[in-house]
Amino acid sequence: MQLNWLERYYQQSRMEANGRTYEILGFRWCYLGLTQLFGETTLPDTHAIQGMPTLSESGLDTSTLSKMYLATRYYEAVHLACATLTLPIVCSMLLYWHLGLFVYASTLFLLHCLNTFQERYKRCLCWLLLQKPTSEPAQSATASLSTDVQKTAPKWFTPAPFETIKFYRTLGIERLRRIVLNVTTSTMLDTHQRANGEKHSFMSGHSQQHLHTFQQQTQTAEVSHIVGVLLHFPFLWYFLREGFWTGGLYVLLLNFANGYCALLQRYHRVRMARILQRHR
């Protein structure tokens, strides 16, 4: 099905296209904090991009930027879904007039809303960089950088001996992976690609650069889902204490989904480790 309305939604408006509006509103500082927290590649600001004669000045290549551009579409959809799922909790806290949890739930809701704009800001930066003339040195520079950073990955993200492909498939993670693939195909591919039957793949290649980029994405996603579980515990405690079983079940389902998605990221890294072993 061709989701033309989705393509129109993802297009930047004239006001936000150059990214300056977001930087005036302070999104740049938030963006820098998040990239440092999760170890992601930091894109230059709009002023620096305008002063770059070629793309090689940014240390990035067209392939990496294109994937970052498309990834913002997926993560924007995720934050919109999270905001929508948090809204019933906000309404419940307002209905039962628990002021503290209402403020807390409202804060989570607003953070998800702000993160949707954060992804749009990142998409603006990617688009500006993709307009620059390309050259070969950018790709080699990115590849060497990726190899160096990959060696410093935190030990927590390294799969344990018991974490095997068979173990995760027994838990049903492979089925979840296929569902996520369908969602990413709908959000990260344009109408023409979907019409041609193309499918989105988490790993577009097996080079050091591709593996490092993919590893960064799984680490960021795993931490985000674990934090999501922890942030919902106050609501679970309140609903169960007051005997609101429907609300408690709703939060349990949200936590279960977050926990399962965190396991999916670890499953990705297990599969990636097998690819690395084949290429040794």
Count of structural domains, the chain: 1
Tell which wins on pLDDT, 200 or 31: 31
**Predicted pLDDT at 141:** 38
| Predicted local confidence at residue 178, as pLDDT | 85
Distance between CA 117 and CA 99 in Å, rounded?
27
Would you say residue 2 lies in a domain? no
Residue 1 belongs to some domain of the structure: no
Query: 118 in a domain, yes or no?
Result: yes
22, 120 Cβ separation under 8 angstroms: yes
Using a 10 angstrom Cβ sphere, with 0-12 exposed, 13-18 middle and 19 or more buried, the burial of residue 230 is exposed
Q: What is the pLDDT of residue 201?
A: 56
Distance, CA of 196 to CA of 177 (rounded, Å):
22
Buried-exposed string 100-117: b where 16+ CB fall within 10 A, e elsewhere: ebbebbbebbeebeebbb
How far apart (Å, rounded) are the C-alpha atoms in residues 57 and 203? 26
Summarised one tens digit per residue, pLDDT across range 32-44 is 888 877 667 788 8
Give the integer Cα–Cα distance in Å for 178 and 156: 25
The pLDDT value given to residue 89: 93
Cα–Cα nearest to 34, from 258, 227, 272, 231: 227
DSSP per-residue codes, 173-188: HHHHHHHHHHHHHHHH
Share of the chain above pLDDT 90, in %: 17
Give every CB contact of residue 28 below 8 A, 6+ residues apart in sequence. 22, 45, 121
Residue 250 has pLDDT above 90, yes or no: yes
At residue 251, does pLDDT exceed 90?
yes
What is the residue type of 72?
T
> What is the SS3 assignment for 64-86?
HHHHHHHHHHHHHHHHHHHHHHH
Q: Look at residues 206, 210, 174 and name the one whose alpha carbon lies nearest to residue 274.
A: 206
User: Which of these, 160, 187, 137, 154, lies nearest to 273 by C-alpha position?
Assistant: 160
Per-residue pLDDT tens over the stretch 215-227: 777 887 888 889 8
Q: What's the average model confidence in pLDDT over 70-74? A: 82
Kindly state the helix (H) or strand (E) to which residue 129 belongs, with its residue range.
helix 99-130
Dump pLDDT digits (tens) for 132-190.
887 654 444 333 333 333 444 567 777 778 888 888 889 888 888 888 877 777 666 55
